[in-house]
Amino acid sequence: MPKLRVMYVQPIEVDAEQYEQLISKKSRIGRLIGTFDKNDFKVEWLQQFNKLHRDLSNYKSIYGNQDSKVSNELLKQDLTQKQFLVNGQHDISEYLDLDNTTYELVFDQRFFNFVLVVELHFDIPDGQLETLLSTELIEGGVDFYNTLRNLLVKEHDDSSLSEWGNAVRLTVCKQIQAISHISLRSSTRPLAYIGNNSGNITFFVDESPQNKAVKQQFLSCNAIAERVKGNNTTIIDNDCVHYAFFSRFHTIITKDIGRYYRFAPIQHHIQSTWYYVSFYSRVLDKLNSHILANNTKKTLSSKRNVIDEYINKIELLRMNNENFKLAIESDNEDVYQKIESKWNVESSLEHAKTYVSFFKDYLERAYARKAEQSNKRQNQILFTISCIQILGLISIWSDYLGLNKIEQFINSTGIHQGSSVDTVLQINTWLPIGLIGVLVLLIMLAYVNKE
């Protein structure tokens, strides 16, 4: 009776605008650091990886012992429903291992990102295996691999999930909303959600690859289940393990439990890293569009700080990728590099680094131009104010210090005694004329500088 582990890796998307708030407000991150350190993972490979690489692993389990998860009994009921009958006729609910089936909400505080890791366990009798893995589908039937995928992954907006899958999605997204300390606004989309077509699924088959019949049945079913045909990369193929990396599904056949502990982290890491890179690329594209639509000095100033956070995140992602490759030792060359070359993860990281650095330079130049334009406007405003002040002085002089009034004032008060009346009158005549000349000169200088 082959035992089967089915591992889903589903990155949980965070709304781009609200993500800026999360990474820019350090108090939110500070409140979460250390909060989940005492929580233990229930998925075996996560337990093992954290024990062996505690100095490397930043994975935190959101669920503690006191937290209740969605009951596996609901999943068992879902598998009896018509839409989840393999090939439209085979009920696999009785093969579900309720005790070992579980899920984890994995939190990486460095990136403030979350990944849903689900692991379904099945014990399938030998006599039923060929029937369940048959590639001869009846009309309207769904193969074994896609039947399990449809439990948790939505292909389109109108695709239906299992009640268990919907409940798991709802609880983990609410959990993220609660610990993020961001109030949910009715006018915006939720902080966390799982997008369509999101999920990479690996089948760990507890069987020797020397059993050619079982091996071929799983590989044929995997191939027929793929949307893109002929996209299989054989990572390892020997008497101990067969590692087939397709597109949406992957099949690993081995009796060596140690291979599960070695390969599951790689499957998780490659999917998570690929998602992080694509996520930051989308966020930067949205940020770019926002700045093009509203490139005010205030907007540019605020986004300069945000872009620094993205530079830090991408550098952390690159460093995390290098550290992970050191941790998996020989599996880096034997496994990881073959998968990476297929998904172009490292070249995408380099592209993201280049893009974010260029974007920062662009923001700095745009901000400098806006600041220069702002200074010019301020100088023009000051110049205009100065001209108005000079005109005001001339007007005051004309209204209150007219020559006739001055002369009458001097004669009536006797101030002319011991002084030259003509000198005073000349000063009051030529001073306004001089001010007008200064005003004309300033206007000419401003015109010349503008040219």
The pLDDT score that the predictor gives to residue 309 is 81
Of the two residues 11 and 446, the one the predictor is more confident about is 11
Average pLDDT over residues 344-363: 75
Three-class secondary structure of residue 316 per DSSP: helix
Q: Are 69 and 39 in contact (CB under 8 A)?
A: no
Of the two residues 393 and 349, the one the predictor is more confident about is 349
Q: Are 132 and 65 in contact (CB under 8 A)?
A: no
Average pLDDT over residues 202-218: 95
Phi/psi at 7 (nearest 5 deg)? -105, 120
The end-to-end CA distance of the chain, in Å, is 88
Q: Tens digits of per-residue pLDDT, 275-309? A: 888 888 888 888 777 777 777 766 666 676 777 78
Average pLDDT over residues 135-139: 80
Six-digit token pair at 130? 């060929």
Beta-bridge mates of residue 252: 204, 243
Three-class secondary structure of residue 273 per DSSP: helix
* pLDDT higher than 80, residue 391: no
Q: Are 133 and 218 in contact (CB under 8 A)?
A: yes
Which contiguous run of DSSP H or E holds residue 448? helix 421-450
* pLDDT higher than 60, residue 186: no
Q: Are 245 and 223 in contact (CB under 8 A)?
A: no
Look-up: residue for tokens 């035992």?
3
Q: Are 37 and 12 in contact (CB under 8 A)?
A: no
Q: Tens digits of per-residue pLDDT, 1-58? A: 689 999 999 999 888 778 877 777 665 666 777 788 888 899 999 999 988 887 666 7
Q: How far apart are CA 225 and CA 242, in angstroms?
A: 18
The pLDDT score that the predictor gives to residue 450 is 55
The pLDDT score that the predictor gives to residue 394 is 61
The pLDDT score that the predictor gives to residue 170 is 94
Exposure letters 189-213 (e unless 16+ CB within 10 A, then b): eebbebeeebbbbbbbbbbbbeeee
Q: How far apart are CA 348 and CA 366, in angstroms?
A: 26
* pLDDT higher than 60, residue 135: yes
The pLDDT score that the predictor gives to residue 147 is 95
Write the DSSP assignment of 317-339 as a string of letters.
Answer: HHHHHHHHHHHTTTHIIIIIHHH
Q: How far apart are CA 214 and CA 333, in angstroms?
A: 28
Mean pLDDT of the chain: 82
